[in-house]
């Protein structure tokens, strides 16, 4: 294809109007073509402006409260993927909790993270990219895989989920920390991306002791106490 | 750039940088500036208020979690938020087994959209600059030849690919490609005042 022909695709690509195969070929070309990248960026800005022309519709003031409430429960990832270096650096301190996957696997993942920080950072960027392609995984019968990496010193849990379809509209997932004989304590709400993935950091209340973690599906915004039987449960290793 | 700042002069990208450090107030400000755009976009795609609420809450949640990854060199905050919101809205419409609202309207009216999607309705509390910028976008869309405006609406608000648009309108694929390209080039020119100033 000539350079000219490639550039004719930039607008449709920015609009998301290319067929998936065509978009994939164009992306390969984009990697080495600054002119097309500049065109795509300009047309993405045009698309962003088209959005502003949608007929006026004013959100309910309660929606702002909901956004702020949900934000308080999930901390933003830190700048430019220091998440993974932090994981690697803290690997010797981190207690890994296997939820559906064993401790060995979690350790293996941490080692892999140390080996390929750049790759992992790229992976995160891909996973969280706002225009990532959506693939339905729910029907493939793969069990959801959720792993937690808990750093007690920093009161922080990093949650990593795969093959977990997003909670239905109006619902969310909620992570609970449970000490034996006591009521569960909410660690926070989370949801997966349409492709069933999530990597996020959640703050744990300081000095909270717990032996069990569990995930339930709750109404959007989360619940003070679980309203459902957990569908994922994991116990801390007894090495503590 | 007018659409990206309010009277306080804090650029959007500075707000997003502060969000990246976990500052909730910055998220509140970003929401106050852009929630109407996000909500209007979501409503245009999903058509139901409860679904639009869901989309907008998810979109700002994603913006909050990923603010640290936002790269101003790759585009404006408006474009970033619009991309996130549109993707979420189209996903929800698909998950509901529904076609985007814009397509239903197209089907109902037989030979095309009953009325252009873009409209000049005014939100009285919208910042004046934002309102002016929006008015230019609406006017630029309205000035496109009708067939060109329709393919842009079907692609952007309907989430259709060029091939799907060709099937929807029973027109040759080549014709659709030409229209999309022509329409986007015209919009790029007409909206240059909003694009050329770059990031605020």
Residue B113 has pLDDT above 90, yes or no: no
Q: Nearest CA to CA, how far is A231 from chain B (Å)?
A: 22
Q: Nearest CA to CA, how far is A240 from chain B (Å)?
A: 31
Q: Are B89 and B99 in contact (CB under 8 A)?
A: no
Residue A70 has pLDDT above 80, yes or no: yes
Calculate mean pLDDT across residues A195-202: 78
Q: Which of residues 64-93 of A touch B (CB under 8 A)?
A: 64, 66-68, 70-72, 74-81
Nearest by CB to residue B69, choosing from A42, A49, A128, is A128
Q: Which tokens in the block code for residue A134?
A: 């959506």
Pairing relationship of beta strands A185-190 and A198-203 according to DSSP bridges: unpaired
pLDDT averaged over chain A?
Answer: 71
Distant-in-sequence contacts of A154-157, Cβ < 8 A, 24+ apart? A154/A90, A155/A203, A155/A204, A155/A205, A155/A206, A155/A208, A156/A201, A156/A202, A156/A203, A156/A204, A157/A187, A157/A201, A157/A202, A157/A204
Q: Which of residues 104-163 of B touch A (CB under 8 A)?
A: 117-119, 121-123, 130, 133-134, 137-138, 141, 152, 155-157, 159-163
What pTM did the predictor assign?
A: 0.61
Can you give the three-state secondary structure of chain A, one letter per residue? CCHHHHHCCHHHHHCCCCCHHHHHHHHHHHHCCHHHHHHHHHHHHHHHHHHCCCCCCCCCHHHHHHHHHHHHHCECCCCCCCHHHHHHHCCCCCEEEEECCCHHHHHHHHHHHHHCHHHHHHHHHHHHCCCCCCCCCHHHCCCCEEEEEEEHHHCEEEEEEECCCCCCCCEEEEEEEECCCCCCEEEEEECCCCCCCEEEEEECCCCCCCCEEEEEEEECCCCCCCCCCCCEEEECCCCC
Residue A7, pLDDT score: 84
Contacts of A58 in chain B (CB under 8 A): 36, 39, 123
Dihedral in degrees, nearest 10, Cα atoms A204, A207, A210, A213: 0
Calculate mean pLDDT across residues A107-131: 47
- pLDDT, one tens digit per residue, over A33-59 is 889 999 999 999 999 999 999 988 999
Residue A73, pLDDT score: 80
Residue from A51, A64, A159, A222 whose CB has the most chain B CBs within 10 Å, to mutate:
A51
**CA of B122: which chain A residue's CA is closest?**
A56
The answer to which of A114-128, B25-39, B60-74 has the lowest mean pLDDT is A114-128
Interchain contact B196–A (C-beta under 8 A): no
Residue that wins the pLDDT comparison between A104 and A59: A59
**CA of A199: which chain B residue's CA is closest?**
B65
Residue from B15, B69, B124 whose CB has the most chain A CBs within 10 Å, to mutate:
B69
With cut-offs at 50, 70 and 90, classify the pLDDT of residue B178: very high
Residue A146, pLDDT score: 75
- Separation CA B170–CA A99 (nearest Å): 51
Classify the C-alpha dihedral B89-B90-B93-B98 as positive or negative: positive
Interchain contact A49–B (C-beta under 8 A): yes
Interchain contact B30–A (C-beta under 8 A): no
- Which residues share a beta bridge with A150? A95, A157
Residue A52 φ then ψ, to 5°: -70, -15
- Separation CA A186–CA A184 (nearest Å): 7
Per-residue burial over A145-164, b if 16 or more Cβ lie within 10 Å, else e, is bbbbbbbbebebbbbbbbbb
With cut-offs at 50, 70 and 90, classify the pLDDT of residue A127: very low
Q: What is the ipTM of this complex?
A: 0.86
Percent of chain A clearing pLDDT 70 (strictly above): 64
Calculate mean pLDDT across residues B156-168: 94
Residue A134 has pLDDT above 50, yes or no: no
Q: Which of residues 100-129 of A touch B (CB under 8 A)?
A: 124-125, 128
Calculate mean pLDDT across residues B86-96: 89
With cut-offs at 50, 70 and 90, classify the pLDDT of residue A80: very low
Residue A6, pLDDT score: 86
CB pairs under 8 A between A and B: 230
Q: Is B120 helix (H, G, I), strand (E, B) or coil?
A: coil
Residue B63 φ then ψ, to 5°: -60, -40
Residue that wins the pLDDT comparison between A220 and A115: A220
Q: Measured between alpha carbons, how far apart are the two ends of chain B, in Å?
A: 5
Residue that wins the pLDDT comparison between A113 and B145: B145
């Amino acid at each position: 294809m000539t350079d000219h022909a490639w550039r004719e695709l930039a607008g449709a690509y920015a609009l998301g109007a290319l067929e998936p195969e065509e978009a994939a070929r164009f992306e390969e070309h984009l990697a080495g073509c600054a002119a097309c990248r500049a065109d795509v960026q300009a047309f993405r800005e045009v698309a962003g402006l088209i959005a502003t022309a949608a007929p006026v519709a004013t959100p309910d003031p309660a929606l702002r409260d909901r956004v702020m409430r949900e934000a308080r429960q999930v901390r933003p990832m830190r700048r430019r993927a220091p998440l993974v270096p932090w994981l690697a650096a803290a690997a010797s301190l981190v207690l890994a909790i296997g939820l559906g996957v064993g401790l060995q696997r979690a350790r293996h993942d941490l080692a892999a993270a140390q080996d390929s920080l750049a790759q992992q950072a790229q992976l995160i960027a891909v996973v969280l990219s706002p225009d990532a392609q959506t693939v339905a995984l729910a029907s493939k019968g793969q069990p959801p895989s959720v792993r937690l990496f808990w750093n007690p010193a920093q009161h922080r849990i990093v949650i990593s989920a795969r093959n977990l379809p997003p909670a239905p509209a109006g619902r969310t997932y909620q992570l609970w920390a449970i000490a034996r004989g006591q009521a569960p304590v909410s660690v926070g709400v989370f949801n997966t991306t349409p492709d069933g993935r999530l990597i996020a950091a959640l703050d744990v209340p300081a000095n909270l002791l717990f032996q069990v973690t569990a995930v339930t599906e709750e109404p959007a915004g989360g619940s003070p106490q679980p309203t459902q039987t957990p569908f994922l449960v994991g116990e801390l290793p007894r090495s503590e | 750039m007018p659409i990206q700042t309010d009277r306080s002069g804090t650029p959007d990208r500075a707000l997003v940088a502060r969000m990246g450090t976990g500052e909730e107030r910055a998220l509140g400000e970003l929401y106050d500036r852009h929630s109407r755009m996000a909500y209007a976009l979501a409503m245009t795609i999903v058509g139901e208020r409860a679904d639009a609420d869901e989309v907008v809450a998810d979109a700002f949640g994603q913006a909050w979690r990923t603010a640290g990854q936002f790269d101003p060199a790759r585009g404006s905050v408006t474009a970033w938020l619009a991309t996130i919101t549109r993707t979420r809205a189209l996903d929800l419409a698909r998950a509901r087994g529904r076609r985007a609202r814009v397509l239903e309207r197209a089907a109902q009216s037989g030979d095309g959209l009953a009325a252009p999607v873009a409209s000049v309705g005014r939100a009285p509390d919208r910042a004046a600059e934002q309102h002016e910028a929006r008015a230019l976008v609406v006017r630029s869309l309205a000035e496109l030849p009708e067939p060109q405006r329709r393919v842009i609406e079907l692609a952007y608000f309907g989430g259709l690919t060029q091939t799907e648009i060709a099937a929807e309108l029973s027109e040759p694929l080549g014709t659709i490609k030409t229209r999309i390209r022509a329409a986007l080039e015209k919009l790029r020119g007409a909206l240059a005042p909003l694009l050329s100033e770059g990031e605020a």
